[in-house]
Amino acid sequence: MNIKLDKHTPDSLASLFVLLMEEGMTPNQILVGIVRLATDSKELEGTIVSADCIRFLLSIMPLDASAPGVTGFVLSLAKEGVSSLMLFDALGFACYVCGLFDTASLLRLTYQRLQADKIISQMLRD
């Protein structure tokens, strides 16, 4: 599987996640901030299956809340206009770069499903 970033996801996010993982952070630790951002921002509110999709991901990749500084930093990215979808995309790409292919595939599929759900839900509302 060859994973590329979406055109809306800044390369710097993926680079940041690669650097964090090279320093010993795990995708599960980074995921805490992404899930909290998705929940707190209500970005995916009104979508059809997003909550189930995230619950499924978390059943496979349990959260590791042992890095509260990383969680806080990820949450602060919302002030810069970064969405949880961008973060899922960037983390999946970073996992791919770091050789965590199974995790990268799970995150990529989650990102694609959430993105599709957001588009379909918007179309149904319009």
What pLDDT does residue 72 have? 95
What pLDDT does residue 52 have? 85
What pLDDT does residue 125 have? 76
Q: What is the DSSP letter of 26?
A: -
Return the domain boundaries, the chain: 11-125
CA distance 6 to 98: 18
Residue 6 pLDDT > 90, yes or no?
no
What pLDDT does residue 77 have? 93
Determine the distance from the C-alpha atom of residue 90 to the mean position of all C-alpha atoms in its chain, rounded to a whole number. Answer: 7
Nearest to 126 by CA among 69, 46, 71: 46
Specify burial of residue 62 (Cβ count, 10 A radius: 0-12, 13-18, 19+). Answer: exposed
Q: What is the pTM of this model?
A: 0.90
The tens digit of pLDDT for each residue in 59-97 reads 999 999 999 999 999 999 999 999 999 999 999 999 999
What pLDDT does residue 1 have? 58
What letters, b where the CB count within 10 A reaches 16 and e where it falls short, cover 36-53?
bbbeeeebbeebebbeeb
Q: What is the DSSP letter of 78?
A: G
CA distance 23 to 44: 31
